Structures are given as C-alpha cells and as structure tokens.
Amino acid sequence: MAATTPTPTSPPPSGPTVPPSSGPTAPPPSTVPSTTPSTEAFWADAEKHLVRYGGEFTREVIDRAAGSFVYTADGRKLLDFTSGQMSAILGHSHPEIVATVQRQIASLDHLFSGMLSRPVVDLARRLAETLPAPLEKALLLTTGAESNEAAIRMAKLVTGKHEIVSFARSWHGMTQAAASATYSAGRKGYGPAAPGNFAIPAPNAYRPDFTAPDGSLDWRRQLDFAFEMIDAQSTGSLAACLVEPILSSGGIIEPPLGYFAALQAKCRERGMLLILDEAQTGLCRTGTWYAFERDGVVPDILTLSKTLGAGLPLAAVITSAEIEQEAHDRGFLFFTTHVADPLVAAVGNTVLDVLIADKLDERARALGTFLRDGLTDIATRHEVVGDIRGRGLLAGLELVTDRETKRSSSELGARVTRRCLELGLHMNIVQLPGMGGVLRMAPPLTATEDELSLGLTILDQAIAEAQAAH
C-alpha cells in the first residue's frame, strides 16, 4: 500500500566542515583543573533550581551516551531500552547524525520562519515518497505536541467544526489542544480543557470491556457503543479523531486488525478527519515504515515526531494537497519560531538515509521477533507476567499479581523497574488506574541481539527478585 521507498540521497555538504579552533590549545587532560561538582552538590543544585515536570528524576548523573548505552558520571553503564525519550531510533551519537550536525551548523542552522532552505524542501519531498497517496504536503515543526496542535488546528479550520475524539488512554502532548485530547494523565488541576473533546474506550484485548461469547474483546460492539455516546454528546460539530496506531503511554495497546478501517468509516459518516499520531510508531520502529500500513487505511493527516529527529527536536504534519489547499484558502496560521529550521531538517534527511541504507524496517521486524521470543520465555518462568504485546521494537510486558484475576500491583511494577536500573537496564513503566504495571520497551533499531539478550537477562533477574520479595 505504501509508496515505493526512496533511494538514499544524502544532501551534499552545504558548507565547510568545522574549522579547528583558533583559540588557545587546551592543556593535557591530566593538567586540567577539575571543576566537576560533587554528586551531592549536583543534586542539591538540581533540587534547588529545577522545576519538576513529571515524577521523580532518575537518581543518576548522566555523563554521556553512545549506541544503545548511557553512561553515568560515576562510571556505570546503562542499557537504554527506551531510546532516550522513545526517540533515538539510531542509538545515541550515531556517527552520521554527528557528522550532519557538525556540517550543517557550520553553514546554516536557523532562519526567519518565512524563509526556506534545501534541507527543508528535500525532507518534505522525501517523506512524501515514503507515504501512500494522497499524503504529500509537509509542515516541519519541533515536538509531537506541536505537530498534534497544528494538525488539530488544521482539522478545525478545514472542517469548520471543533470537536475532537481520542482514546481514553491517549497521550498526544502537553500544549492546549494536544493536552485536551490526552486522557492517560495530566487533566486535573489546570482548569477547563478545550471545549468539545471526547474520549472513546481503548480496545484493550487483555482487559476487554465488551466481550464476545468466548470472552475475547468484541471491539466492533465497543466501537459502535463509543460512537453512540459521541453522537449523544456532540453538538453536531465533530471535526476529527486523533489516535495512535499503538497506544504507547497507554500501555502498548494495539487495536486489533480491522479496527482502524472501522474507525475511519465512523469518521467518514460524520464528516470527520482521521489524524494518526505516529510519534513513537513511525519510521520503521514497528517493522514497517508506518504502523498504519498493517491496517490498509490512509489517514487524512499524519503526525510524526520523536523518531524523525532520532533524538533531536523535529516533527512533521503531513496531509493531502486538497486539505492543505483548503487550509491555506481559509488562512491557516501556524507561524512558530522553529518551523522549517534547516539544521534539524538536515538531520531528518540523514535519518531517512540510514533507515533506507541499513534496511531498518527489516531489522526491526527481525529484532522484534527476537525480543518477543525472549519475553515469552520469561513469561514461562514468572507467574507475574500477565501479557506480552506490541509490534517490532515497541514491546510491552504487563505485570500482575494473579493471572486469573489480572489483579495489578503498582508496588510490583515499581520494584521491577528499580531493580532493572540497579542491574544496568533503563526501563520505562506505565502505571494507570485499572491496569497493571506495563514495562514499555523501545530499544534503538540499531541494537544488537547481544544487547537485547543482555536486557532480557537483566529483566528476568529483576522480575524473579521482585516476585520473591513481593
């Protein structure tokens, strides 16, 4: 269904390489006076001067990162099973990314937002080449929240309506419209959300709310009921449905095959646009270039971020020429400081080069099978493993205290996560009401089988120890 994958076309150097410093020569490392504060002073400064923006900070001082590992100031080596913030799909400090940043920042880094550069136009064209028709018009931004904000704004303008539907376990960002469409966390205490936002249940096959006679999830009946409720609440101004192909922060919930085609039909019946947020699933992580390819649907608007910049702040909104023209005719405005910045656009082009040259979609499929087999093996030894799910190198393992009742324990999940970190594995856990602790795994697509094996070994030990203690 997707368009033919383009051949690598790395942009030629657009300027001179970084010249050697003309300043004084640094003394040998052994003679450089140490100015590194103690760990105690570091944390004292952090506690005094940093705003806490979500949970507690990991109590490690990170000094550097390379490949699949991050390194602490005290010499510990941590296997990174989250690719940074689920973004560094090429691992940390990938040599081609480093070279692109060094080359590009020496010649052209940032422009007035109304100016264009070759890296920006090249990236827009090349993204279109990876996508099925009619997706061909791109807006390059910085973060997932910003791209979802722009997509919602475009959908409202084009449809002339304002109501937005999203999954009840969704995470789309922390800016106003994106946060109003986010239901997994962060809604209480900030005053009214944007008007006209509605939630529909996430189709969780492990914890079904609508069941068939055999106890499986009856997602068609669930979806019908969901839109009966939407219709009852709507003022007749339904603009768009914004969803992730796999809910990541919601606990690695993958809707069953056929769900998105049915959801798109519901949207069409009501004159709504379908917006797919592929911040974490796009660009080969799930084993295909885009997760929606499995389902035979094409969204009206696609949002990308995280994986597009491989750790740098780059995002995109991609839509059809028809929708873009209608938005333009109606005066679409999304003029931001870092829209169409050349530095990160050049990085995006290099990301595409590496994905294509190294066939990382195929690699993600193969490594995803290896990872899932390892998780399945762990499940055979530990009764606290309730479910394994995900696709490619985006995997989830749900912990429960009882497989029959699927009873959850936030303490168990926190204990496993903490022990993994002590043993040298950085994991992320999703803990939401009504759901067990879901260990969320998204290693770099450049990881090796040996690195995945190391992570699985650590996870196995951490679960065994936490289970015994629990």
* Amino acid 410: pLDDT: 84
What percentage of the chain carries pLDDT values higher than 70? 91
Q: Tell whether omega for the bond before 12 is within 30 degrees of 0, i.e. cis.
A: no
* Amino acid 10: pLDDT: 40
Nearest C-alpha neighbor of 243 from the set 206, 203, 289, 288: 203
Question: What's the average model confidence in pLDDT over 38-61?
Answer: 94
Q: Residue 110 class from Cβ within 10 Å (0-12 exposed, 13-18 middle, 19+ buried)?
A: middle
Identify any residues that bridge with 253 across adjacent strands, giving them in sequence order.
247
- 156-162 long-range CB contacts below 8 Å, 24 or more apart? 156/239, 156/240, 157/327, 157/330, 157/331, 157/332, 158/273, 158/323, 158/326, 158/327, 158/330, 159/239, 159/240, 159/271, 159/272, 159/273, 161/237, 161/238, 161/239, 161/271, 162/195, 162/196, 162/237, 162/239
* Amino acid 19: pLDDT: 32
Give the length of the chain: 470
Fold of 360-469: Aspartate Aminotransferase, domain 1 (3.90.1150)
* Amino acid 470: pLDDT: 74
Residue 55 confidence class, pLDDT cut points 50, 70, 90? confident
Between CA 310 and CA 327 the distance in angstroms is: 29
Residues contacting residue 40 through CB under 8 Å, at least 6 positions apart: none
Q: Which residue type, as a one-letter code, is found at position 239?
A: A
Identify any residues that bridge with 275 across adjacent strands, giving them in sequence order.
242, 301
What percentage of the chain carries pLDDT values higher than 90? 88
* Amino acid 61: pLDDT: 96
pLDDT tens-digit profile of 380-425?
999 999 999 999 999 999 999 999 999 988 889 999 999 999 999 9
Token pair belonging to 153:
């704004």
Tell me what the pLDDT averaged over the chain comes to: 92
Nearest C-alpha neighbor of 360 from the set 430, 310, 424, 285: 285
Between CA 232 and CA 147 the distance in angstroms is: 30
pLDDT tens-digit profile of 143-159?
999 999 999 999 999 99
102-357 against 360-469: fold identical: no
- Give catalytic residue positions: 171, 244, 277, 280, 306, 440
* Amino acid 434: pLDDT: 63
Strand 437-441 and strand 428-430: the pairing is antiparallel
Token pair belonging to 438:
């879901």
Lowest mean pLDDT among 5-9, 166-170, 447-451: 5-9
* Amino acid 435: pLDDT: 65
* Amino acid 37: pLDDT: 74
Between CA 323 and CA 300 the distance in angstroms is: 8
Q: Which H/E stretch holds residue 387?
A: strand 385-391
Question: What's the average model confidence in pLDDT over 329-345?
Answer: 98
Place of tokens 């050349």: 342
Sheet (strand 385-391) strand order: 385-391, 394-399, 437-441, 428-430
Nearest C-alpha neighbor of 166 from the set 268, 252, 265, 238: 238
Between CA 335 and CA 354 the distance in angstroms is: 30
User: Rounded to the nearest 5 degrees, what angle is found at the Cα of 394, between the Cα atoms of 55 and 376?
Assistant: 105
Q: Domain coordinates of the chain in residue numbers?
A: 102-357, 360-469
Q: How many other CB atoms are there within 10 angstroms of residue 390's CB atom?
A: 25
Between CA 220 and CA 265 the distance in angstroms is: 12
Whether the full predicted model's pTM is greater than 0.85, yes or no, is yes
Question: What's the average model confidence in pLDDT over 356-363?
Answer: 98
pLDDT tens-digit profile of 249-264?
999 999 999 999 999 9
pLDDT tens-digit profile of 14-32?
333 333 333 333 334 434 4
Between CA 155 and CA 390 the distance in angstroms is: 29
Question: What's the average model confidence in pLDDT over 184-201?
Answer: 95
* Amino acid 35: pLDDT: 61
The CATH code that applies to domain 102-357 is 3.40.640.10
Residue 1 confidence class, pLDDT cut points 50, 70, 90? very low
Question: What's the average model confidence in pLDDT over 354-366?
Answer: 98
Q: Which H/E stretch holds residue 225?
A: helix 219-233
Q: Residue 176 class from Cβ within 10 Å (0-12 exposed, 13-18 middle, 19+ buried)?
A: middle
Question: What's the average model confidence in pLDDT over 313-335?
Answer: 98
Between CA 44 and CA 2 the distance in angstroms is: 52
